[in-house]
Amino acid sequence: MEEKQSIRKLTIEELKGVMVRFSEKPFRAKQLFEWLWQKDAASFEEMSSLPKALREQLEGHYYIDHIELKDQQVSSDKTIKCAFNTQQGNIIEGVLIPTSKRMTACISSQIGCSLACKFCATGKLKLMRNLSAGEMVDQVTYLRDQAQLKYGSTLSNIVYMGMGEPLLNYNNMIQSTNLITSEQGLGISPKRITVSTAGIAKMIKRLGDDEVKFNLALSLHAANDKKRSHIMEINDSNNLDALREALKYFHEKTDTRVTFEYIIFKDFNDALEDAQELAEFAKCVPCKINIIEYNPIDDGEFQQAASSKVDAFANYLEKKNIIVNVRRSRGKDIDAACGQLANKNKAIKKEDRILKA
């Protein structure tokens, strides 16, 4: 028996080919595409504008890789963390972060992660697989609907900063951003999307070659190789010199300002000499720097820097005429803050959290 294929891997042109094979008119492909990407259909049966015979044919040959909500937690600061089930039964997490100025959807790109950054709960999980473009778009769609339902607001921003490394799922990530931004998809401006990477130089250059329109953020966290390698293994193969070169290339190709993310840890990277190194590195491209409050995970190796140290650090950078934002964490009480995804979820069994197949 023929194995079913994922319908959401197909472009609209490929869907037209499917319609021809099924002896249907090509306009049915547009209807099908809208059901998949605008109306968020989870089954062919829902597609009421398609003839029943066509729906049955589609059901016989294809499946929809739709994710389903497993659990939802709401923080005291109104942050919403969602645990989603994939069709294989693995768990991914997405977060809706409301502030006075923004309504941000933070989404995952992989099930687990292979990079093992010391400060990140997801980095302690085994990498199971890449998420499909559809599974990424589903997170955005659900969080968008929650923003409207719970807070009467539209999404202002989408960040690929959840579980996984987006640039190690490059093709699916690019397809998802295309679907999110296209008029046939969700119609959200690419300037409202930020893709965050731990720093893979050749893939940053590829973003430049592809002249992407979305924003790029680099998780830097230390601006000397010894410290960065201590907390991020990826720096051993993608050191600061390689990243500097890749970022310059990306900016030359896209003319887009880069964001540097800097989680500040007590007595590790919070001194003024660390700020001096960061300011020097930041000269490589037009940029802004987000200083991020550390959110503890279970192992307790790192601690949160003192507020006085954070303020002094930010003040130093501002005196160097660098745009600086200090990001105070949201959703800490439900482990939804930066670096905490997959750390704890009381409604999810331990074996689900560690992503056993």
Beta strands in 7-136 (DSSP E): 62-63, 68-74, 80-85, 91-98, 103-106, 110-111, 129-130
Burial class (CB in 10 A: 0-12, 13-18, 19+), 156: middle
Residue written as token pair 């009480």: 333
Distance, CA of 293 to CA of 338 (rounded, Å): 9
Distance, CA of 238 to CA of 261 (rounded, Å): 16
Residue 120 known to be catalytic:
no
Out of 24, 82, 93, 135, the active site residue is 93
Distance, CA of 188 to CA of 182 (rounded, Å): 7
Whose CA is closest to 265, among 257, 274, 256? 274
Distance, CA of 159 to CA of 95 (rounded, Å): 10
Out of 113, 117, 287, 338, the active site residue is 338
Residue 165 known to be catalytic:
no
Give the torsion through C-alpha atoms of 348, 352, 354, 356, to 10 deg: 180
Q: Would the CA dihedral through 275, 278, 283, 289 be positive or negative?
A: negative
User: Which residues carry out catalysis?
Assistant: 93, 338
